[in-house]
Structure 1
Amino acid sequence: MGNRLSKIYTRTGDDGSTGLGDGSRVGKDSARVEAYGTVDEANSCIGLLLATDVPDDIRTLLTRIQHQLFDLGGELCIPGHAAIFDADIEALEAQLDHYNAGLPPLQEFILPGGGEAAARCHVARTVVRRAERATVALARLEPLRPQPVRYLNRLSDLLFVLARVLARASGHGETLWQHERRK
């Protein structure tokens, strides 16, 4: 494969438009650009999480997810393209079941935190939720397969569970929301 980015700036976006993967141009504020841009931001948050000390199994899982998020960004950037499939969602569900099995059931909400890795995982989770909302907004405007939304929904759930695992592994533990603190 040749160089994909031989020149970083092209000046073609100076008018507020950007090129999609199919060659068409849209506004940089379009719902499609918002969706794949937020997926890219989520991927960067996972990269920030991976810059901390995380267990090898979680590192391997998150790196695989980063590749899938690039695939998902491609699907959102190229109208009609399919890159995320039911098997990808089922794999997330299997990881969710695996990591959740060792956690105690929740009685209350958890405050984001629990050490650096867990806190970064919570940030990644919230950005994935925003990517999900942006993708739902896109699906209301243009035809979109259901798999991208389902993938993002499941991924945010997995990141929540991983944040719990990381908080416990770090020794910081979880801080439960004290909803009755004002009484």
Structure 2
Amino acid sequence: MAVTTQSGEIKLRGHRTQQGFTLLEVMIAVVVLVIGLVGTLSVFTYGIQAVQFAQEDIIAKQKAREALESIYGARNTSQISYDLIQNVSGGGVFLDGWQTLRVAGNDGIIGTADDGAVETLHLPGPDAVYGTADDVYTPLSNFQRQIQITNIPIPGGVNPDMRQVAVSVQYTAGGFMGGAARTYTITSYISRFR
């Protein structure tokens, strides 16, 4: 809206020219964008970790199940008596504490004193065929297993016919986890009866 005065000057009233965003508006927009990008970056980091540790998690899970099945198999075939299905500290045959994953010894039972060498993971090589010269053997020396066999308390003592078996497998994770131990535990019960 232009007005002419006596001196011939034009004065603008009521109009304000657009001059762009203020500094405050820009700063708020930047903060919102940074929050969104950091959130997205954390999702990507979690996804990379999940993929990186997927193989180790599967190995830990299967090795825990394998040990539990070994205990059930020993009981079902009467290879050892129910009274020996305890940790060494309780008068049984299963080693106490964390043990490196080892192949079963002459008794065929995992987690006993006669276990052999450190287990290895056998993968096909670049030709994707097992049994060729380029196969890859990876020792599972960063995995440990613990078999804990405990009596189940009942009023007046312990249940003589049932025990709790907890098999835990842990491994040291590298990469993003910075050497953190990851553990998988499976818990079950075993009875005197088959």
Considering fraction of residues, name the structure with more helix.
Answer: 1
Normalising by structure 2, what TM-score?
0.27
